A and B are shown apart, each in its own frame.
Chain A
Amino acid sequence: MASDVVIETRALSKVYRDFWGRPKVQALNALDLEVRQGEIFGLLGPNGSGKTTTIKLILGLLFPTSGQALTLGRDATEVSKNERIGYLPEESYLYRFLNAEETLDFYGRLFDIPADVRKARVQTLIEEVGLGWAKRRQLKEYSKGMTRRIGLAQARINDPDLIVLDEPTTGLDPIGVREMKDMILALKDAGKTVLMCSHLLADVQDICDRIAILHQGELKELGRVDHLLRVAEETQIRAAGLNEECQQEIRDVIARHQGELLSMENPTTTLEDLFLSIVRDSEARPGRRASVESETSNEESETA
Chain B
Amino acid sequence: MVIETDLLTFFEWLLVGGSDRLPAVLQFLLTAGSLILLALVIGFLAAMVRHGPLVAGDLTYGVVRNAIGELFVLSPRRIWAMARLAIQESLRRRVLVVLAVFVVVLLFAGWFLDNQTHEPVKLYVSFVMTAATYLTLLLAIFLSAFSLPNDFKNRTIYTIVTKPVRSGEIVLGRILGFSAIGTVLLAIMGLASYVFVVRAVSHRHTIVAEENLTSLAINHRHTVQIGPDGAKQTSTEMGHWHPIDSQEKNTEAPQELFRARVPHYGKLRFKGPTGADKARGISVGNEWGYRSYIEGGTEAAAVWTFTGVTADKFPDGLPVELNIRVFRTYKGNIEKGILGSIFLRNPKTGLRSDIETFEARDFHIDSRFLPRKLPRLRKDQQDAGDSEMVDLFDDLVDDQGRVEVWIQCLPRAQYFGAAQADCYLQATDDRFDWNFMKGYLGIWTQMLLVTAFGVMFSTFLSGPVALAATTGALVIGFFADFTTSVATGELEGGGPIESLIRLVTQKNVTSELEQNVATAIVQSIDAVLMIVMQSVTHVLPDFRSFSNVAWVAHGFSIPTDLVCQNLVAALAYVFGVFVGGYFFLRIREVAK
Inter-subunit contact B156/A95 (CB<8 Å) = yes
Within 8 A of B (CB), among A61-100: 61-63, 78-80, 82-83, 85, 87, 89, 91, 93-98
- Cα A97 to Cα B87 with chains together (Å): 12
Inter-subunit contact B164/A83 (CB<8 Å) = yes
Inter-subunit contact B81/A110 (CB<8 Å) = yes
Nearest residue (CB) in A for B161 is A61
Chain B positions within 8 Å of A158 at CB level = 163
Residue A109 lies at the interface, judged by CB distance under 8 Å to chain B: yes
1/0 per residue B366-406: CB within 8 Å of A?
A: 00000000000000000000000000000000000000000
Within 8 A of B (CB), among A94-122: 94-98, 102, 106-107, 109-112
Interface residues on B, range: 20 to 34
Inter-subunit contact B85/A95 (CB<8 Å) = yes
Within 8 A of A (CB), among B61-87: 66, 70, 75, 77-78, 80-81, 84-85
Inter-subunit contact B158/A87 (CB<8 Å) = yes
Inter-subunit contact B589/A154 (CB<8 Å) = no
Within 8 A of A (CB), among B117-159: 154-159
User: A80-B164, A109-B80, A110-B165 known; A89 and B92 CB under 8 Å?
Assistant: no
Inter-subunit contact B162/A107 (CB<8 Å) = no
User: A79-B165, A95-B89 known; A89 and B589 CB under 8 Å?
Assistant: no
Within 8 A of A (CB), among B156-178: 156-166
Inter-subunit contact A89/B155 (CB<8 Å) = yes
Q: Which secondary structure dominates chain A's binding surface?
A: loop
Inter-subunit contact B162/A87 (CB<8 Å) = yes
Among B156, B158, B164, B591, which residue has its beta carbon within 8 angstroms of that of A110?
A: B164
Nearest residue (CB) in A for B150 is A95
- Cα A89 to Cα B590 with chains together (Å): 13
Inter-subunit contact A82/B156 (CB<8 Å) = no
Inter-subunit contact A82/B78 (CB<8 Å) = no
In angstroms, how far is the closest chain B Cβ from the Cβ of A23?
A: 12
Inter-subunit contact A154/B165 (CB<8 Å) = no
Residue B535 lies at the interface, judged by CB distance under 8 Å to chain A: no
- Cα A111 to Cα B169 with chains together (Å): 13
Chain A positions within 8 Å of B89 at CB level = 95, 97
Residue A224 lies at the interface, judged by CB distance under 8 Å to chain B: no
In angstroms, how far is the closest chain A Cβ from the Cβ of B48?
A: 14
Q: Count of A residues near B, CB < 8 Å?
A: 31
Residue B331 lies at the interface, judged by CB distance under 8 Å to chain A: no
User: A95-B89, A110-B81, A110-B164 known; A87 and B70 CB under 8 Å?
Assistant: no
Residue A31 lies at the interface, judged by CB distance under 8 Å to chain B: no
Inter-subunit contact B162/A82 (CB<8 Å) = yes
User: A94-B159, A95-B89, A106-B84 known; A61 and B165 CB under 8 Å?
Assistant: no
In angstroms, how far is the closest chain B Cβ from the Cβ of A287?
A: 25
Nearest residue (CB) in B for A81 is B164
- Cα A61 to Cα B156 with chains together (Å): 12
B84, B161, B591, most chain A CB atoms within 10 A: B591
Within 8 A of A (CB), among B41-74: 66, 70
Chain A positions within 8 Å of B428 at CB level = none
- Cα A98 to Cα B160 with chains together (Å): 14
Residue A43 lies at the interface, judged by CB distance under 8 Å to chain B: no
Chain B positions within 8 Å of A107 at CB level = 159, 163
Chain A positions within 8 Å of B163 at CB level = 82, 107, 110-111, 158
Among B77, B80, B162, which residue has its beta carbon within 8 angstroms of that of A85?
A: B162
Inter-subunit contact B156/A79 (CB<8 Å) = no
- Cα A93 to Cα B81 with chains together (Å): 18
Inter-subunit contact B78/A110 (CB<8 Å) = yes
Residue A184 lies at the interface, judged by CB distance under 8 Å to chain B: no
Among B77, B92, B155, B591, which residue has its beta carbon within 8 angstroms of that of A109?
A: B77
In angstroms, how far is the closest chain A Cβ from the Cβ of B134?
A: 27
Chain B positions within 8 Å of A112 at CB level = 75, 77, 164
- Cα A154 to Cα B162 with chains together (Å): 11
Residue A59 lies at the interface, judged by CB distance under 8 Å to chain B: yes
- Cα A109 to Cα B592 with chains together (Å): 26
Inter-subunit contact B77/A89 (CB<8 Å) = no
Chain A positions within 8 Å of B77 at CB level = 109, 112
Nearest residue (CB) in A for B163 is A110
Residue B88 lies at the interface, judged by CB distance under 8 Å to chain A: yes
Chain A positions within 8 Å of B157 at CB level = 93
Residue A227 lies at the interface, judged by CB distance under 8 Å to chain B: no
Residue A188 lies at the interface, judged by CB distance under 8 Å to chain B: no
- Cα A106 to Cα B80 with chains together (Å): 10
Residue A56 lies at the interface, judged by CB distance under 8 Å to chain B: yes
- Cα A198 to Cα B581 with chains together (Å): 36
User: A56-B591, A62-B589, A107-B163 known; A94 and B80 CB under 8 Å?
Assistant: no
1/0 per residue A260-290: CB within 8 Å of B?
A: 0000000000000000000000000000000
Chain B positions within 8 Å of A106 at CB level = 81, 84-85
In angstroms, how far is the closest chain B Cβ from the Cβ of A68?
A: 12
Nearest residue (CB) in A for B70 is A79
- Cα A151 to Cα B155 with chains together (Å): 13
Q: Can you name 19 extra interface pairs (CB under 8 A) apart from A82-B164, A112-B164?
A: A61-B158, A78-B66, A80-B164, A82-B163, A83-B164, A89-B159, A93-B156, A93-B158, A93-B159, A94-B159, A95-B85, A95-B156, A96-B154, A102-B88, A110-B165, A111-B164, A112-B75, A112-B77, A158-B163
4 nearest CB pairs, A to B: A109-B81, A61-B591, A97-B92, A93-B155
B: residues with CB less than 8 A from A are: 66, 70, 75, 77-78, 80-81, 84-85, 88-89, 92, 154-166, 589-592
